[in-house]
Chains A and B, each alone.
Chain A
Amino acid sequence: MTQTYPSGRMYAAGPRRLALRAQFNVLSALLFREAGMRHGQNFTLGYLASGVEPLVIVATIGLLFSALSRTPPYGSSLMLFIGTGVFPIYLFIHTSLRLRQPLNAVAQRQRFPIERPFDHILVHAVLHLLSSALVAVLFFGSLYLFFGVNAAIPSDPVTAVVSLLVVLMLGIATGICNSVIARIIPAWDLLWPAIARASLHFSGPYFVAAYLPPDSRWYFALNPVIHGVNWFRHAFYPFYPNQLTDHSYILAFTAVLLFFGVLLEAGTRRYLEEKD
């Protein structure tokens, strides 16, 4: 069906063929606006600011271990070992925290109708990936350049990138679920940051999961983030013990959670609109 409008523009079968272009416009405009904002306030480098947190955690754990004069649990550099654990974990934590915002009720009303919630989710996810990647590159790069840790350059860069993408997807899926849960049970907004940050210690930033006692090891293996951490460490340590690394587990967990999250979002949309 072709229709001519007085403005001279013509559409074949409606404006749908312009949909891709409209999508691109929305995403690019959002990317540049959200990059400079945090909680609706202007804050240049707002996303990079969240990169400070993993650095602080790496520094404190590193200091503590040095003070206790422990040897690194694996490899020769303590900072590298802790860094390879904390960065993927924080990618997960921050993504699962920040992705609650695009779907919250107030934010949804403060948009042009052309911006859909999943545009915001995509943009926030990309910004998180970029900022965490930048901070991680700075951290590992400076370990290599200034501290002479040769292993800080991953021997298998593809594995490093793939594992981080999987962890990011896990964070996105968790974030979508959280956003819906937080609208049903508002206290979840207070509980989840605490749970997420506490889970840091169960995801293996300062121990090798495969060296845990065999009877408690399998409880740790239920945490999908620990598999992501192990996956990421394989990029740096070619002979990292892999008894507790199950790629299919974290992939399946992510897929199920993502499916469940999208389903939950679509299924409760009406209910939540009526509730608010």
Chain B
Amino acid sequence: MIRLDNVSFAYQRGRNELDRVSIELPSHRRMAILGGQETGKTTLIGLLAGVIDPTGGRIERLAHLSFPAGYNRAFRLANTVRQNVIFAARVYDADPGEVVDFICGILDLNDWIDRPMRDLPVQTRRSVAYALTYALPFDTYLFDNIIGPGDPATRDLWRVLYEARTATAGAVLATRQPRVAETYCDCALVLRRDAHPVFFENLREATALFEAEAAADQRANAVGHDQPAVDTPTFDEGSVGNQALAKVAD
């Protein structure tokens, strides 16, 4: 259970990303946060994780929430991969040896593990950050847009890990693609611009509201800027869920 009590957040004064949100969210289910552009998905994930502090109100977390998946700002680049992983494991109350073994087991890191973090290719560094997220024990894993870096070699790995972890723990996945939500989640929170977020037990109802909202938005944009409405992108059935693996350029 995560209780948001009158939570507001503004990057700039007078322009609230979230405005006095009071809602109770499940922490032990797979929940999608559905919302269009600039509705505060990333902000909400950051607030839940504690990476940013709310401007007003308070968040009560009755579960261990993870940092946003793939969080790599806390790595010390001068330290080796092993030192960084051990530090994270200690801080989050996990057995350091187990965590190192887990990461070495799923990524082919053997010659990198004892090298300084700054020597690693950026792609590998991101993979380590995601593997670390899955390696640590949390009650709820927070994902912002993607569940793993979209590297073709490891594409299936992240999907398998996601399924394995969410079998016993909760997840919150922020996305603006209903297909992704359907593939990875069971319930959803719909964020809307200038309106309160709504929680849905049923994903179909959430998707319906989200799509109606998106269509209304597009119509408003088309009228406002006198531009033709952009076609909604179509996905082919075979790659359902792949959108969650690569960051989509906004």
Contact = CB atoms under 8 A, between A and B. Distances in A.
A114 B78 contact: no
Interface string B63-92: 110010001011011110001000110111
B63 A5 contact: yes
**Chain B contact surface mostly:** loop
Interface in A172-190: none
Contacts of A33: 76, 79, 83, 87
Interface residues of B, number: 36
B91 A7 contact: no
A109 B90 contact: no
Interface stretch (B48-56, B219-227, B230-238): B48-56
A124 to B, nearest CB: 15
A112 interface: yes
B148 interface: no
Contact of A25 (B53, B71, B77, B91): B91
Given A5-B28, A42-B78, A114-B50, A25 B87 contact: no
A22 interface: yes
B91 A29 contact: yes
Nearest to B116: A42
A110 B90 CA distance: 17
Given A26-B91, A42-B78, A112-B71, A3 B62 contact: yes
A261 to B, nearest CB: 19
A70 interface: no
Contact of B50 (A1, A14, A113): A113
B233 to A, nearest CB: 33
A22 B64 CA distance: 11
B169 interface: yes
The winner among A5, A41, A274 for most chain B CB atoms within 10 A is A5
B92 A7 contact: no
A77 to B, nearest CB: 43
Contacts of B168: 6-7
A274 B90 contact: no
Interface string B9-41: 000110000000000000110000000000000
Contact of A21 (B51, B79, B93, B169): B93
Contact of A37 (B55, B63, B76, B91): B76
B196 interface: no
Given A3-B1, A37-B76, A40-B78, A114 B92 contact: yes
B169 A22 contact: no
**Chain A contact surface mostly:** mixed
Given A270-B55, A274-B13, A40 B28 contact: no
Nearest to B1: A3
Contacts of A7: 137, 139, 168-169
B91 A114 contact: yes
A227 B9 CA distance: 46
B91 A15 contact: no
Given A3-B1, A111-B74, A113-B49, A22 B93 contact: yes
A14 B62 contact: yes
Given A9-B139, A11-B63, A274-B13, A115 B169 contact: no
Interface in A16-45: 21-22, 25-26, 28-30, 33, 37, 40-42
Nearest to A13: B62
Contact of B12 (A6, A14, A269, A274): A274
Instruction: Give 8 nearest A-B pairs by CB, closest first.
Output: A113-B50, A29-B90, A14-B62, A112-B74, A29-B91, A42-B78, A113-B51, A6-B168
25 contacts: A5-B27, A5-B63, A6-B167, A6-B168, A7-B169, A14-B60, A15-B61, A15-B64, A22-B93, A25-B90, A30-B91, A33-B76, A33-B83, A42-B78, A110-B73, A110-B74, A111-B74, A112-B67, A112-B74, A112-B88, A112-B92, A113-B50, A114-B67, A114-B92, A115-B91
Interface of B: 1, 12-13, 27-28, 49-51, 53, 55, 60-64, 67, 71, 73-74, 76-79, 83, 87-88, 90-93, 137, 139, 167-170
Given A112-B71, A115-B74, 16 more contacts: A3-B1, A6-B28, A7-B168, A14-B61, A15-B64, A25-B93, A26-B91, A33-B83, A33-B87, A37-B78, A109-B73, A111-B74, A112-B91, A112-B92, A113-B51, A114-B91
